[in-house]
Amino acid sequence: MCVQKSIKKILFEINQCKNIYELNLVKSKYLGKNGYINNEIKKIKILDKERKKNFSIKINKIKKKIINAIFLKKKFYISLKNSSSQRRFFDVSLSYQDMKNGSLHIVTQSINKIKSFFEKLGCEIVFGPEIEHKYYNFDALNIKKNHPSRNFQDTFWFNKDYLLRTQTSSVQIRVMKKKKPPIRIIVPGKVYRNDSDLTHSPMFHQVEGLIVDKNINFSNLKWIMENFLLNFFEEKIKMRFRSSYFPFTTPSMEVDIFDKNSRKWLEVLGCGMVHPFVFQNVKINPYKYSGCAFGLGIERIIMLKYKISDIRSLFKNDLRLLKQFK
């Protein structure tokens, strides 16, 4: 093909392109690796010195003209697309569509509410690892080796030493080993137990609280629990403290609230005075200091407050349920 004739043909093809897709095909045909320009350049090596010079000048001019023509054509299509996208049609007769805003999950909202209450009492928010050593999860909390919670059927073990923590109380041990009294902390976080039904989940959220100082007694704990529950449920409720057993507290109590609908007492949390053995494990003098602790499942008190019957509903991301808690 004659060089002068070829440039006219190429420019004509570029001008005939109806969209960017066709333009890219033409670009590949003439400027691509196996395109016309590269094939012509390969012929230079067989020419003599004088003809090489003249041919190189001509082919470079053609290449520049093709690149410039393609650039201008592409710019035209882009400007055409932008101008058409800016032309928007508004129908003023249409009704206004309200924006659908998201919100925090009810579990997150509840954790924030609990944190806010205890921060006002001077408690520090503390977090710890979810993969825990048995010493912090069991041994230091005075939980014996034959305790049912250590069974492989009840707990997710990685090996004989490490497990997914069954309670956030393990963080209390970590704090007491590093920090000396006075201590005021709450520990929110995920815990794991091998249990699943309407009221239990293999993973759920828990908040543990710990106060250690001189002259802490059960009256202090009782006052805190009563005011906390009144603040969380936002209504006057009947509650009772029932004697119970936990390896890491003595005396130990479970707190129940009276459900007006079912006319039954329902357990909401466990609490008690820190066991002297626990203090000994973390080298805190039990004759000088005393402490109170409590623990509760977040999903459980949410279910009680909002009358939710199935804990699994909180993890299904069902907007029909979740949008009620905006």
Per-residue pLDDT tens over the stretch 22-47: 888 888 888 887 788 888 887 777 87
Range of the domain at 61: 3-84
Same domain, 62 and 117: no
Q: Return d(Cα 25, Cα 16) in angstroms, integer.
A: 12
Between residues 200 and 175, the one the model is more confident about:
175
Q: In the prediction, which pLDDT does 91 show?
A: 60
b/e map of 191-226 (b: 16 or more CB within 10 Å)? bbbeeeeeeebeebbbbbbbbbeeebeeebbeebbe
Q: In the prediction, which pLDDT does 178 show?
A: 92
**29: number of Cβ within 10 Å:** 14
> Do 313 and 321 contact (CB within 8 A), yes or no?
yes
Between residues 162 and 11, the one the model is more confident about:
162
* Lowest-confidence pick of 91-100, 108-117, 186-195, 264-273: 91-100
Q: Output the CA–CA distances (angstroms, integers) from residue 316 to 105, 194, 281, 320, in the order listed.
A: 11, 19, 41, 11
| Rounded average pLDDT over 227-238 | 91
| Rounded average pLDDT over 214-241 | 93
Same domain, 15 and 121: no
**Within a domain: residue 200?**
yes
- State the chain's mean pLDDT as an integer: 86
Q: Is the dihedral of CA 154, 160, 166, 169 positive or negative?
A: positive
Same domain, 33 and 111: no
DSSP alpha helix (H) spans, 208-315? 218-233, 276-281, 298-306
pLDDT, tens digit (0-9, with 9 covering 90-100), for 249-274: 999 999 999 888 778 898 899 999 99
Same domain, 130 and 68: no
Q: Return d(Cα 112, Cα 44) in angstroms, integer.
A: 76
Q: Return d(Cα 177, Cα 32) in angstroms, integer.
A: 70
Q: Return d(Cα 303, Cα 179) in angstroms, integer.
A: 35
| Rounded average pLDDT over 92-103 | 69
> Do 37 and 30 contact (CB within 8 A), yes or no?
yes
Nearest alpha carbon to residue 167 among 104, 222, 109, 210: 210
> Do 132 and 156 contact (CB within 8 A), yes or no?
no
Q: In the prediction, which pLDDT does 44 show?
A: 79
| Rounded average pLDDT over 107-116 | 93
**Within a domain: residue 26?**
yes
**Within a domain: residue 35?**
yes
Q: Return d(Cα 263, Cα 87) in angstroms, integer.
A: 64
Same domain, 17 and 131: no
Extended strands (E) in the chain: 124-125, 131-133, 162-164, 183-192, 203-213, 239-246, 249-259, 264-274, 290-297
Same domain, 70 and 115: no
| Rounded average pLDDT over 286-298 | 94
Same domain, 173 and 244: yes
User: Is the pLDDT assigned to residue 1 strictly greater than 50?
Assistant: no
**Within a domain: residue 96?**
no
Q: In the prediction, which pLDDT does 121 show?
A: 92
| Rounded average pLDDT over 44-62 | 80
